Amino acid sequence: MAASAQGETGADGRVLAPLGRRRSAVVANSPSGGYTLLTALDPDGPLPKAGQFYMLAAEHGWGGGGGRPFLPRAFSVADATAGETGVRLTFVLEDVGPGTHELAGLAEGDGLLLTGPLGRPFSPPRDVNPGAAGAILVGGGIGLAPLALLRRDLAARGFPERSLLGFRDEAHSGGLELFRCSELRLASEDGHAGHRGYVTDLLAVMLEGDDAAATAVVYACGPPAMLEAVRALCEECGVAAELALESPMACGYGACFGCAMPLRGGGYMRLCVDGPVVDAGAIETALVEGAGHR
Ligand SMILES: Cc1cc2nc3c(=O)[nH]c(=O)nc-3n(C[C@H](O)[C@H](O)[C@H](O)COP(=O)(O)OP(=O)(O)OC[C@H]3O[C@@H](n4cnc5c(N)ncnc54)[C@H](O)[C@@H]3O)c2cc1C
Ligand code: FES
């Protein structure tokens, strides 16, 4: 294992990023449905926690086409394993613009510049709900990325988990190989896989019953409308939940205030340092302006 793989940990359990941007090398790039799985070897970085993210940029060609993309882009880590030569990091990308397009086109050996791991990770289930007997993971589209690492961690600790994943249609789906061995249920709006409809339909059924509030904990990531539906449903059922939110991020480490979002009861948080994982009870709404893929 690389000497630095354990990394430094902050008071709230987050793994701290080494100072500055560093170079990693792409070791694999493979299509997965409509998404791309990009894996890089980070020789000097620590092992991240599920829910944390990295600011990524290609070493060459970034900003080449008319200056865009100029800034690095934020990506949740979907898998991470420490080995002799460093930490293997896997990201799931959906090609929606110049940054994701550049990254999805990287080949083995290409340089990937990264800063991270950044942000607040998911909390252990019993920190979210002391009576938690099982976790329900709810992902929408590319929002499955941080849940893949969370699922793996929970399974490794022997904590019961069920995953519910929803997709718009076949072209906007992928990454299912990261959920191998999981108790997995699917939903799709076009009916190509699993339940025809929303993933929140599956969650609503799962939360029916008197003991849901006492024994369940929900972790969710996905487009704002889906997260808002999860937030409202969990509030209605009294179920504890953490949501991994998205907002436009220019720096990723608290300097630009571009990711500010309102807190329930007043005030603001910077999603890159106070999130991206937030307690569902801390916000009035998950409808973050400027977030989500169109
Ligand atoms: C913490 C965090 C984790 C993330 N994790 C992932 C991940 O794991 N995988 C992933 O694929 N993405 C992830 N994202 C989202 C990703 O960072 C953004 O989508 C990023 O902006 C993509 O960069 P881009 O240059 O490809 O597209 P951009 O040009 O930034 O466009 C992003 C989206 O905005 C739309 N858009 C752009 N300009 C306009 C406009 N003028 N009007 C209307 N719509 C517009 C585009 O169509 C697209 O849907 C994450 C974001 C955050 C904050
Ligand atoms: S992205 Fe700059 S402060 Fe959050």
Ligand that comes closest to the CA of residue 248: 1
For the chain, give the mean pLDDT: 93
Q: Among residues 274, 252, 12, which one has the least CA distance to residue 123? A: 12
Centre of ligand 2 to C-alpha 144, Å, is: 23
Centre of ligand 2 to C-alpha 258, Å, is: 5
Most informative mutation of 259, 268, 278 for ligand 2 (most atoms within 8 A of CB): 259
Residue 218 and residue 265 share a domain: no
Ligand that comes closest to the CA of residue 98: 1
| 54 lies in some domain | yes
| 208 lies in some domain | yes
- In angstroms, the CA 88 to CA 102 distance is 20
Query: What pLDDT does residue 108 have?
Result: 97
Centre of ligand 2 to C-alpha 217, Å, is: 28
Query: What pLDDT does residue 220 have?
Result: 98
Residue 133 and residue 240 share a domain: yes
Q: Is 76 in the pocket of ligand 1 (CB under 6 A)?
A: yes
**Domain residues for 238?**
125-244
Q: How confident is the model at residue 105 (pLDDT cuts 50, 70, 90)?
A: very high
Q: Is 83 in the pocket of ligand 2 (CB under 6 A)?
A: no
- In angstroms, the CA 58 to CA 113 distance is 6
Q: Is 135 in the pocket of ligand 1 (CB under 6 A)?
A: no
| 211 lies in some domain | yes
pLDDT average, residue stretch 176-183? 87
Query: What pLDDT does residue 216 have?
Result: 93
| 9 lies in some domain | no
Residue 240 and residue 252 share a domain: no
| 11 lies in some domain | no
Ligand 1 atom with the shortest distance to the CA of 74: 17
Query: What pLDDT does residue 4 have?
Result: 56
pLDDT average, residue stretch 188-210? 93
Domain of residue 262, CATH code:
2.10.240
- Read off the pLDDT of residues 36-56 as tens digits, 9 standing for 90 and up: 999 999 998 899 999 999 999
Query: What pLDDT does residue 209 have?
Result: 79
The residue from 61, 90, 117 where one domain ends is 117
Residue 253 and residue 240 share a domain: no
Query: What pLDDT does residue 161 have?
Result: 95
| Count: domains in the chain | 3
Q: Which helix (H) or strand (E) holds 224?
A: helix 224-237
Domain of residue 156, CATH code:
3.40.50.80
Residue 193 and residue 110 share a domain: no
Residue 139 and residue 39 share a domain: no
Q: Is 246 in the pocket of ligand 1 (CB under 6 A)?
A: yes
Domain of residue 80, CATH code:
2.40.30.10
pLDDT average, residue stretch 59-64? 87
Q: Is 72 in the pocket of ligand 2 (CB under 6 A)?
A: no
Centre of ligand 2 to C-alpha 87, Å, is: 25
Q: Among residues 73, 88, 186, which one has the least CA distance to residue 137? A: 186
Residue 96 has pLDDT above 90, yes or no: yes
pTM reported for the whole predicted model = 0.95
The residue from 117, 145, 170 where one domain ends is 117
Query: What pLDDT does residue 205 have?
Result: 95
Query: What pLDDT does residue 224 have?
Result: 95
The residue from 117, 134, 159 where one domain ends is 117
Strands (E) across 62-127 are located at: 73-76, 79-83, 86-93, 111-118
* Residues 6+ positions from 179 with CB-CB distance below 8 Å: 144, 148, 151, 163, 165
- In angstroms, the CA 60 to CA 51 distance is 28
Q: Is 69 in the pocket of ligand 1 (CB under 6 A)?
A: yes
Residue 294 has pLDDT above 70, yes or no: no
Query: What pLDDT does residue 11 have?
Result: 79
| 166 lies in some domain | yes
Query: What pLDDT does residue 2 have?
Result: 46
- Read off the pLDDT of residues 202-249 as tens digits, 9 standing for 90 and up: 999 999 877 888 899 999 999 999 999 999 999 999 999 999 999 999
Query: What pLDDT does residue 7 have?
Result: 79
Residue 135 and residue 111 share a domain: no
Q: How confident is the model at residue 69 (pLDDT cuts 50, 70, 90)?
A: confident
Residue 3 has pLDDT above 50, yes or no: no
Query: What pLDDT does residue 1 have?
Result: 44
* Residues 6+ positions from 106 with CB-CB distance below 8 Å: 26, 29, 38, 58, 112
| 265 lies in some domain | yes
